[in-house]
A and B are shown apart, each in its own frame.
Chain A
Amino acid sequence: MANQKSDEYPVIWLQGAGCTGCSVSLLNAASPSIKNLLIDELIPGKHISLRFHPTVMAGAGVKAIEAMEETEKKGGHILVVEGAIPADGAFGSVGEKKGKPVSIPSRLESLAQNAMAVIALGTCASFGGIPAANPNPAQCLSVAQALKNKSITTLVINVPGCPPHPDWFMGTVASILLWGLPKEEELDEFRRPKAFYGKLIHEHCPRRAYYDEMKFAKKLSAPGCLYELGCKGPITYADCPLRQWNNGVNWCVNSGGMCIGCVEPGFPDLMSPIYQKMASQPEKKEV
């Protein structure tokens, strides 16, 4: 592979109102690993060039911002956004321009404008998530909404989860490298790749047999279906029960901690109180 020029896919990773948990989740990727993503060709002949990522990059300050802005100028990059977008720019900024802080929403607008696609990574970027929870003190929006408000039409792919599974991100990126941007029919009604969000947790849950036999756990840590303790598996679409987490060692329901619906647009408000049985089971949709 040495000395062969790869196709470079420049990536800018913008952090908005978030907690860096999406980045840490990506660091937990097993195969491909973060090393494969950063250093190797993720797909033979194709390499991700991570031009800006606040947690990982060596450079800081002006040098980091210059690297971001040069990539932005050339265009054609993949923009990954982690965290929600505060509608009022006063609540967050990244870097300066002529001695004045540049707000997160204005960074988003200029970075999205010329991008090949935007990956809204995590539930905050996809739907608003935790910072947009009632009363939404920083007036946070999803990336798609923030761009829509500015009539920016770059394709947005939502890869939600609090945090998202690293495979969901790697798979979304690898798919772009292999086959180009996703077709509309490959995304669900919330613009999530069906490949990862097409299955209902409840239908593939290892505790499903308990549910069918109406054997419900009476308290946390007990065997049985967690539905009556508040599990949101019946309304949550993700492949966690099949894929499992952290290199397959465990996942929420398996640990008795139940599904809290973290990939859904209503997280956290529509999923709370977390430890309370859902008022009614919403209608099922086709999978």
Chain B
Amino acid sequence: MKHIAAMLLGLLAVVLLAPRLAHAVCDQTDASQADKDLWATHDCWQDFYLWQYRAYDMHGSDWANRGWNDACNRNLEYPKHWNAAYLVTYGLADNNDQSFHGTIDYRAIGEARASNFHDHLKHVASDDPTIFGSYSPGNHQIATACALYDPTEANANPASRGGDFMHEGWHAYFAKYGWNNGDVGGHRPTQGNCTAKGCDYFYFHGIGTYAFGAMWESDGTAARFHSPNQAQVEYLCDVADQPQSWIPNSVRLAAENDANTRAAERFINGPGYRCGDPRPW
């Protein structure tokens, strides 16, 4: 009798456990309003994602059960990933008088192609609940985690997701050129004006200091340099303050909120820049 029970238990495990574990941990039931609003501006542009998966070196084996074969289902991780890439690719106005950097910079940071910004990299997904994303120098992988996909999360919007491409892509930049930014997940321990666990310096620079496409340049001093959180804040502020005219307001608001909070608490010599003026809408 005991053994029959063991067998039934095993069969039950086959039926119940296997399909459950086959799915990702991320919340796949919905998308954030910002994701939906941006999605509505392209309504699943198939030419774009058929370009994007190659540009970001993404593979079905890494995104199985996350929308690889359901690429127009905006509730799933892969469609959310390419929604963020769409914002990076087309969403910035590249204003000569105001933008910190240009689309050409932000695309090069996020995309896979080996360039002056970083060695060749690929994008994978992660279920790790303790991170937003990560860069692994050993296999050159940028992993984006559920914190960037689950709609209850503060960073589960296309602007913040793209901001994470910048952050992790800048770790890849550091790996390419051998810069040491500390041992706390590639950052420095809490100190100075930084209240987070992983801190950076903010290397202030004016508008026009860098030509579009030249963000990777450094003279090896603090006068011409960026940190990962700074690259992220500058991207988010460019989305918030210098977007294309058709960008939905929910995306702009999410970018501004992420940047301003990050600027306040992630920098040893902070605060970093605040995006735009403080009018609520």
* A and B interact: no
Residues of A participating in the B interface, judged by any CB pair closer than 8 Å? none
Residues of B participating in the A interface, judged by any CB pair closer than 8 Å? none
